[in-house]
Structure formats: C-alpha cells, structure tokens
Structure 1
Amino acid sequence: MKTSLKTMFAAAALCALSAQAQDAIRIGIEGAYPPFNAVDAKGQLYGFDVDIANALCAAMKAKCTLVAQDWDGMIPALVARKFDAVVSSMVNTEERSRRVDFTDPYYRTRLAVAVPKDSKIPGVDAKYMKGKTVGAQSSSTQGMYAEDVYGKAGADVRLYPTPDEAGADLIAGRLDAMVHDKFPLLEWLQKNSEGCCKLLGEIPGTEGDTSIALRKGDDALKQRFNQAIKDIRADGTYQKISLKYFGADIY
C-alpha cells in the first residue's frame, strides 16, 4: 500500500512538473517593426504584438517569456527550439507553411508603397516600377513581393535587414520607392512626413493573414492559442489593444 501511495505521489508530482513546463511558453518577437513591435530606450520590447502576446498568455494562464530575434533568423530559431511560438506580425504564406504551422489570424494586413514627396511615379502597378530602385525588408512578404512582381517588371530591388534601413535610404534619395505593410508604413510616414515621403497607395490583392507561427506538430499549443485569440476577442481585450495603437479594430 505504501509503495502504491509513493508511486501515486511520484506520478502526481511528475504531472505537476509537466503541466508547469507546458505553461512556460517562450515567444519570439523581432523588435524592429513599430508600432507592432519595437525596443525602447531601456531595451524592453513593446508594441501591438507584445501586448497581444501578453494578453494571449494571460488568457491561457501561461507564464510567457518574450525573446528578441532578428527577422531573418526567426523561423530557423523557432525550428531550433529557441522559442515555442512567433508573435511578430508574420503573414501566413504558402512557403512559410511548408516549414512551420500557423494559428488562426490575429489581424489582417495589406502591402503599400511609399515614395519621396516629389516622386512622379503615378501608381503602385508593376509597370510603373520599371527602371526604378525599390527597397523592402528581406525575408518578408513585402520583400518577396518586391522581388517577384517589381523585380520581374524591371525594377532594381534592394533588400534590407529592417524596414528602418530601407526607410533611411528612401529619405536619403537612394530609393525611388519602398514596399512595406500598410500599418507600420503609415506610422513611419507620420514620423517622417515633413519634407520627406508620401503614401503612393495600397497594393491590391496583397491581403494576408497575420498569424502565430508554431513548430510543425505542436497541435495542442496551436489549439490553446486559437482559443485564446477567440477569448480576447470575446472579452474586449483585443479591441482595447487595437484602439490603443491604431484607433480602430484591425482584426
């Protein structure tokens, strides 16, 4: 009887430890994509993605650790178990879904183009980019679009580690146009609007689902995140965070 009780207590302890381990979730975030994610003067991550990640963890009653990771290495780091999930404005694409799994979307986005204020480029159509120098972030949907569409139309496409570096070259006159996601581009333009740049327009047909990336086969964690997304939508937490950064519900 004593042996049985010891075995039961040992099993219960192991289950408790296992549950604690399952509730320790590490989340990868870039930290170079304001207003979705950035790093403040104290080295702390902040932004829409950060607040959403924390809200999802609270809904799951999980203890989460945020891990800063350069964008180019985000998926390799996830696969290598540096963290368990990516909450960093990653759009679910066919190419990425071959390497990782995705949850339901937590917002939807579209690509847009910025140009210098004195630009004579008449629109975002690929035919207008022939002979132009176009910048975008590497390993991103905007970078892939710039290469696949504008590059094939005759544009000189330059890719950068971060959108800010592409933006700096646009301001300096080394780029004729920059492709970026709509929401962070609008914030960037607001900060750099005087004597600099303007929105050329949104790119039709580029709508994408921004979702949480997980390792292939992490089905239980995927279900937890999907339920948490529903929960923070239902209780108003999501809308409150969205209004804080964008003045509207971007879901």
Structure 2
Amino acid sequence: MQGLIASKFLRKLLVPVLGTLLAASAGSAIATDNYWQQVKDRGTLKVGVLVDWPPYAAVDAKNQPSGYDGGVAKLLADHYDLKLEYVVMTGPNRIPFLLTDKADVLVASLAITPEREKQVQFSRPYSAASMVLLGPADVKISTPADFPKYKIGVPRASTTDLGVTKVAPEGTKLHRFDDDASALQAMLVGQIDAVGTSSVIAADVQKRYPGKYKVLYVVNEQLMAIAMRKDRPELLKAMNDFIAADLANGKLNTLFEQWLKKPLPQSVTQSGQ
C-alpha cells in the first residue's frame, strides 16, 4: 500500500515538471527554426565575405566587396528583397565569425569538407574551384612523391592546406602562410618553390608572367557552398531555394562567366539533380 501511495505521489510531482521541460524544449526548437524569420523581420542579411581571393573575392573601385562571391551575396539579398550588409573577414576567421553570429551566412569561397561539416551546415554548391600547385617552370613535380624535394607554401588552415597535407608524403616541407596573397608572394620572390592555390589564380599568374610559371600538380576540385550555423533548417531551405532558382534562371552562371570567364562546372549545376 505504501508503495502504491508513493508511486502516485511521484507521478503527481513529475508530470508538471516533465510538462514544463517539454514546453521549454519545444520553445527552444521553435526559436531556433525561426532564425530565418528573424532575418526577414530585421530586413537586413549579414553576409560574410572575403576580399583577398580574386576573382572569387575582391574589392571594387569604391573599396566595396566584389568578385563572384560579392555578386552572389547581392543576388541572394535581392532574391529575398533584403538589404545586404557585407561582413568582411579573413580565411581563418570565417567560421568563428559565423558561430558568434557576426554574420548570418557565409558566401566566402568556403569549400565543403567533412571537418567543416562538424561545425556548420552547407547549402548545395554555388561554385567550384580546382586546387593546384603552381611553381617556376624548372620545378619538377608530377606526383606527391616529388613533394619532399621542394619547399611548398599553402594558406594556413585552408582547403588547399588540407588537400596538400592529405597527399604529402613524410618529409614534405610545408610552409603555411596567413592567406593566399602571402603564400603567392612568397613563391614569386623565391622564398618557396611552389604554392598551393586555385586554378584561376594560377592562370592569372601565368598570364602576367608568360612562360615563367606552370601548374605542377592538380590537388583536387573543391565545391563551395553557402555556410550557416547548424540547427537552422529554415535558413538552410532559404539558401537552397535561392541557389536552385538562380541556377535555373541562369543568373549564377552569367555571374560566374563574368568573373571566371567560363561556365559553372557541371559539378555545381548538376549537384541538386
């Protein structure tokens, strides 16, 4: 009898407590899911961008963010009739800025990697770039087995850094720099023998210095996507809907051709099919 009474007492005590906890949990989930609504109510979309990785990320004559990423950010804000606020950042602080809500989303040449997917969520791809090793014409690199013979520079913590590190054999002399510009400059002045960079930047260097530099090795192709904090499904849906719409109407391809002088890769255009 005493056990029955105790059981009834516990039920009376726990039911209200559990109800309160469930309500709080549901309220938290609703608040999280409504982040996109908060952005729309605010009327301004804060987009994190780079400005030091042309032609993907650059500045215009008025010192405003430009390049392909800057253009995508503008298309995104226009698509949802929102005011655009650029949040300029560097490669290493892109994710920290996002996780502290200094930006709502990143349109910052951020490649999709398993390591990053542990921290943020990605939309479907809106861009892609091949990562290569660029160096003087007399440098002989054809396979990773050749890496240890030379000093190779990469932007610290970048996907180029990850890609080269992944295939580099023991004994490779990797030199890490704060950004792409610093790594490229080190190669140009002979501080390092080769630099990890995008195929587009490599092509620009080759155009400026005909016959002096060549692509030594293709590291990989990287798909880049809009990044945002996790547990914001409505925000993710909005980003995916934008990309699908502007792929279908050709605006993303037109912008890519404007800056990259070639069509969007099939790895981007067919990613959602």
TM-score, length basis structure 1: 0.84
Show the 5 A alignment for 1:80-159: 80-119=100-139, 121-123=140-142, 125-150=143-168, 152-159=169-176
Change (3 A) 1:226 1:131: same
Conserved 8 A contact 1:130-1:155 = yes
Which amino acid counterpart does residue 61 of structure 1 have in structure 2? D
Which amino acid counterpart does residue 224 of structure 1 have in structure 2? A
Change (3 A) 1:92 1:19: closer
Conserved 8 A contact 2:205-2:213 = no
The structure with the largest alpha-carbon Rg is 2
Which amino acid counterpart does residue 244 of structure 1 have in structure 2? Q
Show the counterpart of 2:205. 188
Q: 1:74 aligns with which of 71, 84, 94?
A: 94
Q: How many pairs were matched up?
A: 229
Show the counterpart of 2:56. 36
Q: Does the residue aligned with 1:75 lie in a helix, a strand or coil?
A: helix
Distance in 2, matches of 1:110 and 1:242, equals 15
Which amino acid counterpart does residue 222 of structure 1 have in structure 2? L
Q: Deviations over 1:138-194 (max 9, x none)?
A: 1211011233322x3321101111111111111111111111122233233323x24
Conserved 8 A contact 1:171-1:197 = no
Show the counterpart of 1:239. 253
Q: Is 2:235 the partner of 1:198?
A: no
Change (3 A) 1:86 1:46: same
Q: 1:165 aligns with which of 155, 178, 182?
A: 182
Change (3 A) 1:118 1:156: same
Which amino acid counterpart does residue 139 of structure 1 have in structure 2? A
Conserved 8 A contact 1:117-1:195 = yes
Q: Does the residue aligned with 1:136 lie in a helix, a strand or coil?
A: strand
Q: Does the residue aligned with 2:107 lie in a helix, a strand or coil?
A: strand
Show the 5 A alignment for 1:187-226: 187-191=204-208, 193-194=209-210, 196-203=212-219, 206-226=220-240
Show the counterpart of 2:192. 175
Question: Which stretches in structure 1 are left out of the alignment for 5+ residues?
Answer: 1-16
Q: Does the residue aligned with 1:154 lie in a helix, a strand or coil?
A: coil
Identity level (%): 23
Question: Which stretches in structure 2 are left out of the alignment for 5+ residues?
Answer: 1-36, 269-273
Q: CA deviation at 1:110?
A: 2.3
Q: Deviations over 1:44-90 (max 9, x none)?
A: 11101111111122122222211101111110110001111110111
Supply the RMSD in Å over aligned alpha carbons.
1.9
Distance in 2, matches of 1:149 and 1:18, equals 43
Distance in 2, matches of 1:143 and 1:88, equals 17
Q: CA deviation at 1:225?
A: 0.9
Show the counterpart of 1:52. 72
Distance in 2, matches of 1:211 and 1:18, equals 22
Q: Does the residue aligned with 2:176 lie in a helix, a strand or coil?
A: strand
Distance in 1, matches of 2:38 and 2:152, equals 50
Conserved 8 A contact 2:39-2:45 = no
